[in-house]
Chains A and B, each alone.
Chain A
Amino acid sequence: MKSRAIVAPIVAALCCTLLLSCGRDNKRLEGHWNLVPEKSASIDPWTSLALDIHTDGTRVTIVKRYSAGHPHDRRVDSITVNMQGREETVPVPPGRWLGEVSMGVYYGPNTTRRALATMNDAHNELRVDIRETLQTAQGAIEAEVKNTYALSPEGSSMQWSETRSTRESGPPLSYTFARITE
């Protein structure tokens, strides 16, 4: 009886700590997310998009995994930058531009992105502004892409919004994700 009396408060304290910890992490962007297609702009021809946001000290890594069903039809786009608002240059592998792979827009060899990222103190909103050189049928063009990743108040969903300097019409490029893991 005595030992049970001692153990019970310890277990309760551990549970509270765990819950508090979970609650705190659940209020941050970090985690593994899956696209909710019915609440998102079209990602066609892809059929799924998984998003990982990971922070390590002052740096944030954003990994997007696009898939179209077949194991060959996938692409991973990963970027790691400081999140303190200092622009830095990051390489991007050559290949089709991810903005919309059905368009004749490419990253050429030795392409870099200039990225400027800021995460707020609560880690529930991340802005990543990217300037990049794209190759089109007529040659190189400069494009600016502003990305915002914003957590919902309850922390179970997240919205990625993208605005491009080159896209002047069409539905908003807004994508809703559901949290899978923290």
Chain B
Amino acid sequence: MLNSRFTLITVLVLALLEFPLQAGQRRQAYVMQLPDNWEITGQLPTHAFLVSLQGLANDGAPRLYFYYPKGYPYGYTRNLKEYFEKEYGFDFKELQRLEDALHTFRDHVKGYIVWDPAVRTSLNVAFTVAGLDRAVVVSPEQIPMAEKEGLKKLEDFRGKFQGKSDFEIYTWAFAEYWPRCSHEFLTYMGGVTGNSMQPGIADLGIYHKSFFTDLSCDPKDTLEYALADKIMGQMKPLTSFVFGWHSYAKDLEAHYITLLSKHVLRQEGLNTWPNMSFITQLPLTPGFRFKNHHNIVPGKKYVPDQKVYIACVQTDGLGLGAWLDPDRGVFPYAWETTDGNSLVHAPALFEYFYRTATPNDYFIGALSGPSYMYPRAIPSEYLPKVIAVDRELMKALDLKIYGIMERSNFSDRYVGNSNLPKAIVDAYYEGLPEAIGFAFGYGPGQTYDVRGHVPFLSYDYYLSAERPTEDAVADLKELAVMNPKRPYYLVMHVRETSGINRVSGILKQLGPEFELVPLDVLMKMAGEEPTFKTRYLEE
């Protein structure tokens, strides 16, 4: 109860915060374009230096913002900058060179740390020290630049970790730095691996003085798993956050989220989540209240026809995918308010999405817990508390439908049965009494229920970005054959990298038996006239 209160209070405080500027008053900040290369032997040293500087420069106020290159997973950095200019009164001055950036923010920096390009993991240790000691992270070539500004060398990791395993390096770093790090935040600097790293979220980790790692969460990697488990075990459940993402080379998303869920830690990220030390300090604009585009008219009865009703939900959170697609808004689409869009850490970002939503954009809660968890991995005594936090977030964000995903049996994306047992379905019904529906799965699921006219539906089709249009059309028509009763309710989970125009092209070929409806309308009809079979995980 205390934990859910924490979130509620945080949300209310954020909602009530007055933006400190008076009308007409402008605020100065700096912006810089980042290069489009993430290799250790390419431009990663530039990124590492700048993102560490950003974490320090933004301490106390939002001052430094980056444009990320075209094709970056979060494509909104230019749009957001314009939005902040307009809504928050920022005037951005553009910086061109690293030297200029360091000189501009020299007073925010106490020293520098040298990472070892020969040992990739040394960069994660350097990021940890950067937050603790207010130091920029430099490659050996960048040392003269730092010294020209009169910065002192605080650490030099060249050669220090040569020949050591990641487990050995992180064990040393844990002993050396963890006691000084915040235990409310941990940064997983995973994602791409090998010669590359995309440390977009490092500024937020540095800003919060977090420990950086990419330890494997696969139980088969016994040493790394044990250390990751130990670190997370020292964080406070439910109110602590893990920024970033797992390493694609070490483990699966399922391993990572399962371990976080076991410790009831709240995932925020990806590792590429940009400019967060800047954005996290922006409150909601005065008087703003989150208002979803509900399609249900109170008191109206929704009687389905003998049809196939289909609704689209985009996967993977708001900041990724098709939000900036010019075709957004031409037909009803639901969006998961998950992953890198925590209301706690990014209220201004949330406001941006709500303000730019069209009447056809409908937000739903996600994913299994605040941010992203797997309910079967959450200790049973915590599950009601987790859902209570979600209930408060759903109230704050004006959400009525909740998305749940489960993969803690480490099943792969395409084969395993990742359904929910009845007890967990019970917990969501009990904990979210205002919900008008639940959407379950990522790929298709097979957990179904209906209680008090509130349906619990699984995604019945996963539209990957690669599936040819004609095959996807045939798949959906085949599902309609395989589910012969009418109405048939078909919730389609659309991979975020699918363009809206492509989805539209598929929907147009489905024929007159199909009717595209907003998700809340589909849920309402499914609750009134269910034709699906109640199922749970058979354990």
Q: List the A side residues contacting B444 at CB < 8 Å.
A: 96, 102-105
Hey, what's the 0/1 contact readout for A92-105 against B, CB within 8 Å counting as 1?
00111000111111
Chain A's closest residue to B488 (CB) is A138
B481–A168 CB distance below 8 A: yes
Scan A102-122; emit 1 where CB is below 8 A from any B CB, else 0: 111110010000000000000
Among the stretches B226-234, B268-276, B459-467, B515-523, the one at the interface with A is: B459-467
Is A72 within 8 A of B443, CB to CB?
Answer: no
User: Bound complex: CA of A168 vs CA of B488, how far in Å?
Assistant: 18
Is A138's CB under 8 angstroms from B484's CB?
yes
CA distance A102 to B475 in the complex (A): 9
Chain A residues in 8 Å Cβ range of B484: 138, 141
Name the distance in Å between B374's Cβ and chain A's nearest Cβ. 16
Write the chain A residue with the least CB distance to B493.
Answer: A102
**Which parts of A30-74 form the interface with B (CB within 8 Å)?**
41-42, 44-46, 66, 68, 70, 72-74
- Most chain A beta-carbon contacts within 10 A, residue among B445, B471, B481, B482: B482
Contact A101/B443 with A75-B415, A136-B479 known, Cβ cut-off 8 Å: yes
Q: Is the CB of A102 within 8 A of B417?
A: no
B300 at the interface (CB under 8 A from A): no
Q: Is the CB of B446 within 8 A of A138?
A: no
- Please report the C-alpha to C-alpha distance between residue A159 and residue B478 in the assembled complex, in whole angstroms: 23
Cα-based distance from A170 to B460 in the complex (angstroms) = 19
Contacts of B459 in A (CB 8 A): 104
A157 within 8 A of B: no
Chain A interface residue bracket vs B:
35 or more
Contact present for A45 and B252 (CB under 8 Å): no
Least Cβ distance of B183 to chain A in Å? 32
Interface residue? A9 (CB, 8 A): no
Quick check: is A153 within 8 A (CB to CB) of the other chain? no
Q: Which of B48-56, B189-197, B406-414 binds A? A: B406-414
The answer to the question of A3 belonging to the interface, with a C-beta cut-off of 8 Å to chain B, is no
A164 to B478, Cβ gap below 8 A? yes
Given contacts A42-B468, A170-B471, contact A138 B462 (CB under 8 A): no
Say if the beta carbon of A169 comes within 8 Å of chain B: yes
A interface footprint on B204-243 (CB within 8 Å = 1, 0 otherwise):
0000000000000000000000000000000000000000
Q: Are A103 and B473 in contact (CB under 8 A)?
A: no
Closest Cβ neighbor of B531 among chain A residues: A138
The reply to whether B478 and A136 contact each other, CB–CB distance below 8 Å, is no
- A45 near B464 (CB under 8 angstroms)? yes
Mask, B513-539, CB within 8 Å of A = 1, is 000000000000000000111000010
Q: Which listed residue (B414, B417, B467, B471) contacts A94, Cβ 8 A?
A: B417
A29–B227 Cα distance when bound, in Å, is 52
Write out the residue numbers on chain A whose beta carbons fall within 8 Å of the beta carbon of B460.
103-104, 137
CB of B448 within 8 Å of the partner chain: yes
In the complex, the answer to whether B483 meets A138 with C-beta atoms within 8 Å is yes
Give the docked Cα–Cα distance between A46 and B467 (Å): 10
CB neighbours of B475 from chain A (8 A): 100, 102-103, 170
How far is A44 from B461 in the complex, measured between Cα atoms in Å?
13
Complex Cα distance, B444 from A109, in Å, reads 18
**A164 shortest CB reach to chain B, Å:** 7
Complex contact B416–A166 (CB within 8 A): no
The answer to whether residues A42 and B417 also contact, given A138-B485, A138-B488, A171-B474 and a CB cut-off of 8 A, is no
With A70-B412, A75-B414, A138-B488 known to touch, is A104 a contact of B464 (CB < 8 Å)?
Answer: no
Assembled-state Cα–Cα distance A102/B473 (Å): 12
Query: Is B158 in the interface zone, CB < 8 Å from A?
Result: no
State A75–B443 Cα separation when bound (angstroms).
15
Q: How far, in whole Å, are A170 and B510 apart by their CA atoms in the complex?
A: 11
CB distance from A84 to the nearest CB of B (A): 31
Is the pair A102, B483 in contact by a Cβ cutoff of 8 Å? no
B positions within 8 Å CB-CB of A: 252, 410, 412-417, 443-446, 448, 457-464, 466-468, 470-471, 473-475, 477-479, 481-485, 488-489, 531-533, 538
